[in-house]
Amino acid sequence: MESSTSTLILRSGAALVFDSNSLQSQQNLPTQFIWPTKDQALTQDHLNEPVIDLQGFRNGEKQATAEAAELIRIACSNHGFFQVTNHGVDSNLISLAYEEIEGVFKLPLEKKLSLRRKPGSVSGYSGAHADRYSSNLPWKETFSFGFHGKETENIVVDYFNSVLGLDFSNTGKVYQKYCEAMKELSLVIFELLAISLGVDRSHYKEFFEDASSIMRMNYYPPCNRNSGILGTGPHCDPTSLTILHQDGVGGLQVFLDNKWREVMPRQDALVINIGDTFMALCNGKYKSCLHRAVVNSKRERKSLVYFVSPKEDKVVRPPEDLVCSQVPRNYPDFTWSHLLDFTQLHYRADFHTLPSFFRWLNNNNNNNNNNNNNTTSHSPANTSNNIS
């Protein structure tokens, strides 16, 4: 499916302020929120992604591990989505994380606007991404923050204390624990992914031990005129792995076989999907699939998302086991810091992010080479030769 968002880059000038109640009181919603017809297609089916019980793998049972790895292999070869149960994340912690969402998104509008993400940053508040884009705006609010590397003690607590004040110290503690649980689960998933791909089971687990992650709270207000409105537009995640918990309202949809298919919410499960960076790390054997979120006309929707990526300066390349003369490299080497810079400052993530990124990277390298050549050609010795 061709997404309509690929050329929408960072906006300039005054940004629209997202106040869902105020916007819905207007006779017509601003056109910035109306998506192209091809992006509005209704869901036609359920995805029927596998629900994988991790208990056996976590207990070291060989048969359960083999079965889980095979389910992952089939799902990730097809569309890159699956759900996991008995994942080890305390259900009470998930409930607490949802409770703390209320305190952030119910803040006065002026306060939320003071917390807006700065250009190029992944941390802070965003209302409909109106500070970044000028059209095809998502009907949602987000609050994001980083969780990096091995030195993660109190990093989230300190962030909430510094940005929102001591009144949100408990929120920081809850999300500190939530991020720690997500990191632990992500390493379990990476080990299973390695097994499913037939590479050393510790390969990806070790690669992501010092991962650079982003935690995001999503709040989708109801929209009583939701024709043409999307909570999140069609895109593929540029990151490596996404771990999502969606509330009972649901709304996540995946594009497969020319149809939008719904991922049904399960309160005991977490949704896992492959991102573009992992697609490069497995040499394209697994898919990063187009997905979106729709808005409910009557009920607000909330979700918790944890995005995992490599440490910024690590080189992204597949293990040698996945490259041979019959299966050459599909993607050149790159670092997450370059891809993050590309998607934050130059390009809106869509179905074509990776090929667009490699073209951008190649152009930058060519420009740098040309600049170096120009510098050499304009040295005093060369200038004198030109004059003579």
The pLDDT of residue 166 is 94
Which residues of the chain fall short of a pLDDT of 70?
A: 1-15, 149-152, 226, 368-388
End-to-end CA distance of the chain: 59
Please check whether residue 83 is in contact with residue 49, taking contact to mean a CB–CB distance below 8 angstroms: yes
Task: Give the Cα separation of 61 and 55 in Å (integer).
Answer: 9
Residue type, 64: A
Residues forming a β-bridge with 83 = 51, 271
pLDDT digit string (tens) for 18-31?
999 899 888 889 99
Catalytic residues: 301
What's the pTM?
0.91
Spatial neighbors of 198 by CB under 8 A, at least 6 apart, are 321
Residue holding tokens 């070790």? 206
Residue 365: is it exposed, middle or buried by C-beta count within 10 angstroms (0-12/13-18/19+)?
exposed
Please check whether residue 297 is in contact with residue 226, taking contact to mean a CB–CB distance below 8 angstroms: yes
Residues forming a β-bridge with 360 = none
Residue type, 328: P
Task: Give the Cα separation of 64 and 49 in Å (integer).
Answer: 18
Task: Give the Cα separation of 187 and 183 in Å (integer).
Answer: 6
- CA 184-189-193 angle, 5° bins: 150
Residue holding tokens 């024709």? 227
The pLDDT of residue 27 is 85
pLDDT digit string (tens) for 215-263?
999 999 999 876 899 999 999 999 999 999 999 999 999 999 999 999 9
List the 141-148 sheet strands across, edge first: 51-53, 81-85, 270-274, 241-246, 301-309, 212-220, 141-148, 124-127
The pLDDT of residue 291 is 97
The pLDDT of residue 370 is 61
